[in-house]
Structure 1
Amino acid sequence: MDKLTKEQRRKNMQANKSTGTKPELLLAKTLFSRGHRYRKNNRSVYGKPDLTFKKIKLAIFVDGEFWHGKDWELRKDDHKTNKEFWNNKIERNIQRDIVVNEELTKQGWTILKVWGKEIQKDLLNC
């Protein structure tokens, strides 16, 4: 049973962004200020990484802990409502991430995955 009405839930879900998240922007601005030039969400690269450096074939993904299943085996049962939907969705995201990593590796890309909270807590060590 959802505590929010359908309209409230719809507005909450619409507010979730796939690009331009705070951690992603924070990392991008820091890299730019240090003289690194990149492309954001480059569609010509498989998996559309958050930041790409084509010359050196570096793809950076900034992943949200919830959406990409950080510590998934421990947190699998944290959902209070609609457990089956969320478990399926997050497990599909994890599987898609694996496929994208394998394909980019085959193409010779170096992949960096950074959790959003790591950027917010300790940006310079990311």
Structure 2
Amino acid sequence: MANDLFQTVPEARRRHMARVKGKDTKPEKIVRQTAHAIGLRFRLHRRDLPGTPDMVFPRLSTVVFVHGCFWHRHSGCRRCTTPKTRTEFWNAKFVTNVERDMRNSEQLVRMGWKVLVVWECETFDRDQLRVRLSNDLGSSQPRHDLDGNASPTTAILRSES
């Protein structure tokens, strides 16, 4: 029975894990906002592609996965820790996650997609994230900066109207 599996898990841990989201996470929203601010347009969570990428740029044949450093084992990151309790369970889970990530990326590449992974810790510095997305995906002239202010180009266009 499925309930037997979780009887040894403390209630506080169970409540905490139930709140972990699979999509529309804060890091994912930051990457979306940044991509949109530099003029990039995309689709979300295409279920017909392996791994259901967080963002899909069909025109660029590029998909983006926004990975949590903890869940997807960002090597060398301070957020990539292993819980002290039930270590065997967690290590097995992490190995499964990483293997699935690799399998999905390989399938996407075979299908002709470029795969880009943005790590959770990369979303903390929005300027660096903007530079990375611009370099990896290209961009058109941004219409607004990340704070929502009109860019100089947009301001000029508005004043001429």
TM-score range, shorter chain: 0.7 to 0.9
Do residues 125 (structure 1) and 131 (structure 2) align?
Answer: yes
Q: Is the 8 A contact 1:65 1:115 kept in 2?
A: yes
Do residues 46 (structure 1) and 11 (structure 2) align?
Answer: no
Of structures 1 and 2, the larger Rg is shown by 2
Superposed displacement of residue 58, structure 1: 0.4
CA distance change for structure 1 residues 81 and 24 in 2, over 3 Å: closer, same or farther?
Answer: same
Say which of 72, 95, 101 aligns to 2:99. 95
CA distance change for structure 1 residues 77 and 117 in 2, over 3 Å: closer, same or farther?
Answer: closer
Root-mean-square deviation (CA, aligned residues, Å) is: 2.2
In structure 1, list runs of 5 or more residues that go unmatched: none
CA distance in 2, matches of 1:78, 1:106: 32
In structure 2, list runs of 5 or more residues that go unmatched: 1-8, 133-161
String of CA shifts for 1:12-36, please: whole Å, max 9, x gaps.
0011111011111011012123322
Do residues 65 (structure 1) and 69 (structure 2) align?
Answer: yes
Q: 1:1-126 residue pairs with structure 2 within 5 A?
A: 6-71=10-75, 78-121=82-125, 122-126=128-132
CA distance in 2, matches of 1:70, 1:57: 25
Superposed displacement of residue 77, structure 1: 7.6
TM-score (norm 2): 0.68
Superposed displacement of residue 94, structure 1: 0.4
CA distance in 2, matches of 1:110, 1:58: 5
CA distance change for structure 1 residues 76 and 42 in 2, over 3 Å: closer, same or farther?
Answer: closer
TM-score (norm 1): 0.86
Residue equivalent to 2:140: none
